[in-house]
Chains A and B, each alone.
Chain A
Amino acid sequence: MRQKLARVIGGVAMLALVAGGTACSSGSDDEASGGDGCGSKIAFFGALTGSSAALGINEKNGVKLAVEKYNKENADCKVELAELDSQGSPDQAPGLAQKAIDDAKILGIIGPAYSGESEAAGPLFSEAGLVTITPSATRPSLAQQGWKTFFRAVGNDLSQGPAAGTYIKNVLKADKVYVIDDQSAYGAGLADEVKKVLGSAVVGSDKVQGEGKQTEFSGVVTKVKAANVKAVFFGGYYQEAGLIRKQLTAAGVTAPLVAGDGTNDPAYITSAGAAAAEGTILTCPCAPAAEARGTFVEEFKALNGADPGTYSDTAYDAANILLAGIKAKKTTRADLLEFVKSYDGEGVASKYKFVEGGELDPAQVVVWAFKVQGGKVVPDQEIPKS
């Protein structure tokens, strides 16, 4: 028995030696191939599994399309896509960020997709000088942390929150509104902006648990019902939004639900059921992906077998900004960072130019309202800035 054990331990030790050896040699390869950018990687950082993975998958598929197209055009000098699955969790983000930083071949990141994980991973990326372009993290404070490497390819909640509030006030003409949020960085931030715009029209507010921790909302539902409101705003992600909508409808609350981009996903309708979801208003600091310019929609469909979802187009654009840099031989992290900082160009969703803190030039930010109609999310109207 003891002999066997010794052999096993010996075997493991040898394996470790071999693995260590190859790790070293591949490390030196990196440095050698650093020059022309061939074989370098860009990484997608976001939730690919877990309860809020739907948005992340939308985005990853957009990035995948950009990389495939790039590799087809540059067959002799391909770029690899690394997928970093954070499950949307701020707890996992720092470790994952470190992993990306340690991989010398990764020159730039598309992501992190959500605000919470961005908050957790941002300082590490900034310190390492690894450029990140998030296609969807909309919490305003992310751009105010002094991170050198943070860029945002969409507007933030300061544009989305007020727009949602304006929509409730001017289009729905609701004078009594109930505001719920999921206590996440994103959801609470959005709800606060909405409350500011609506002021005294907010007759009540409550907080629920996000990340799939709560499925039973009878406490909130009872309060909303008693408040007899004209509209309900929810700051949070689609999973809770769907259940809240379903339980509100079941309890006889017919006031429309208004929610932000985190809810803007087909899974919201599955979760709520088409009948309950009907008439829900979803805002997004983005133009409809289906209205993306050029041949994006068809190409996306051909590659992924599904229509582009929320942020598929901005993720595609973000990837293309990084790829344009690599193509222009900006193949060190520092060069690529400078390239993104001074980037000025057009993508399929918007024009891109970054200002102070890595925010998208406010002139380029558009906020759209979408509506659930006949079991589908359809564009409703662009919400004017005010």
Chain B
Amino acid sequence: MNFDGLFSNFGELTTTGLTQGAIYALVALGYTLVYGVLRLINFAHSEVFIAGAFAAIWTWNGFGLDQDSQVSGVGSILFYLLVAMIVAAIASAGTATVIERVAYRPLRKRNAPPLAFLITAIGASIAISEAFGIWTRRRPEGAPILISQKPLFHLFGVPIDGVQLLTLGAALVMMVALDQFINRSRVGRGIRAVAQDANTAALMGVNKDRIILMVFIAGGTMAGVAGLLYDVRIQSLTYSVGFLLGLKAFTAAVLGGIGNLRGALVGGLLLGVVENYASGLFGSEWKDFAAFAVLVVLLMFRPTGLLGESLGRARA
């Protein structure tokens, strides 16, 4: 064990961990939303994320930017980020919609058992991931360097760079927006109603299918933004990265309390830093071990996660 390494790099391990955790959290929202409403673990959500991430890279490619391009000027950087974010969100939300329409709705109509949903989800995930693999010839695709990862300033001696600010900032903004959307808007009320009791909600005139579609679209939008942030941060994308990232995001959702939006945020950030501390303390090969060990131990004491399951309950 390398306590020295952990303590001397504690600040940096925390900031990079939080940044990665923010991406987990955004993806985790998709799992949590769908689970909260349908009691379904949408394993194909990792591919919703990948669709957005690829869409962002291909958008930049469309502007003639590849992994070797350097973009300067605040205006053009913002422009490229915004355009790619919109495209990524649409691509992810679209993918989520297609998955819901093609893979889940027909099963729901026939009252299929939960196991059928699970297998369909896994099947859809593999099929989409393989399609991207064949499409990209299983090669990594590079994103341009939009934001330099040179430190902007030091906070208590810890360097902070633009990518970290953007990732954390964007993730927080998206989350607050989603929280408000669920808690304040008409559709949000519908979502909470369906989550609490779908049949009663239907009797009150809530269109269940429409609400479910909205849930997939909201989760997809978050995943699309996560995809964009992933591209900006890692600057390279392979078709297969969704699997483990999706699994981690799902873990984050369970860690925070699946079905609970704020839980997804807490779980994601916690998972990100735990992974990094474990890399610092034991070596990077222990990173995933630590992440899942924390999950197991935590669930032993708090089976419903840190903040508990509660999309439909008083708080969203």
Contacts and interface: CB of A to CB of B under 8 A. Distances in A.
Do A and B interact? Answer: yes
Interface of A: 49-51, 53-54, 183, 206-209, 212-223, 225-226, 239, 242-243, 246-247, 250-252, 267, 270-275, 375
Interface stretch (B88-96, B170-178, B279-287): B279-287
Contacts of A267: 139-140
Contacts of B13: 218-219, 222
A119 B138 CA distance: 25
Interface of B: 5, 8-9, 12-13, 16-17, 19-20, 67-68, 70, 133, 138-142, 145, 148-151, 234-236, 238, 240-241, 244-245, 275-276, 278-280, 283-285, 287-288
Contact of B16 (A51, A213, A222, A272): A222
A382 to B, nearest CB: 30
Contacts of B140: 239, 242, 267, 270-271
A246 B279 contact: no
B145 to A, nearest CB: 7
Contacts of A213: 244
28 contacts: A183-B285, A208-B285, A214-B244, A215-B238, A218-B12, A218-B17, A218-B20, A219-B276, A219-B278, A219-B284, A220-B279, A222-B9, A222-B280, A223-B9, A223-B280, A226-B5, A226-B9, A239-B140, A242-B140, A246-B236, A252-B150, A267-B140, A270-B139, A270-B141, A271-B140, A273-B68, A273-B145, A274-B67
A215 to B, nearest CB: 5
Candidate in A216, A221, A252, A275 with the most chain B CB atoms within 10 angstroms: A216
A270 B141 CA distance: 7
Contacts of B234: 215-216, 243, 246-247
Contacts of A239: 140, 238
Nearest to B69: A273
Q: Is the interface of A mostly helix, strand, loop or mixed?
A: helix
A240 B77 CA distance: 27
Nearest to A212: B240
A84 to B, nearest CB: 17
A375 B68 contact: yes
A251 B15 CA distance: 13
A261 B68 CA distance: 23
A109 to B, nearest CB: 23
A51 B8 CA distance: 35
Nearest to A252: B150
Nearest to B16: A218
Contacts of A217: 284
B236 A215 contact: yes
A220 to B, nearest CB: 5
A6 to B, nearest CB: 24
A242 B143 CA distance: 13
Contacts of A214: 244, 284, 287
Nearest to A47: B138
A244 to B, nearest CB: 11
Nearest to A52: B138
Contacts of B133: 49
Contacts of B148: 250
A328 B240 CA distance: 45
Contacts of A223: 5, 9, 279-280
Given A51-B238, A215-B236, A222-B13, 5 more contacts: A183-B285, A206-B284, A207-B285, A219-B13, A239-B140
Contact of B275 (A219, A271, A375): A219
Contact of A219 (B68, B145, B287): B287
Contact of B68 (A53, A54, A275): A275
Contacts of B70: 275
A214 B244 CA distance: 8
A251 B149 contact: yes
A273 B235 contact: yes
B138 A218 contact: no
Given A207-B284, A251-B149, A270-B139, A243 B20 contact: no
A53 B142 CA distance: 18
- A-B interface, 5 closest residue pairs, ranked by CB to CB distance from nearest: A219-B279, A218-B16, A250-B149, A207-B285, A273-B67
Contact of A226 (B8, B19, B151, B288): B8
Contacts of B67: 270, 273-274
Contact of A50 (B138, B150, B276): B138
A262 B68 CA distance: 23
Contacts of B284: 206-209, 214, 217, 219-220
Contacts of B288: 209
Contacts of A271: 140, 142, 236
B142 A49 contact: no
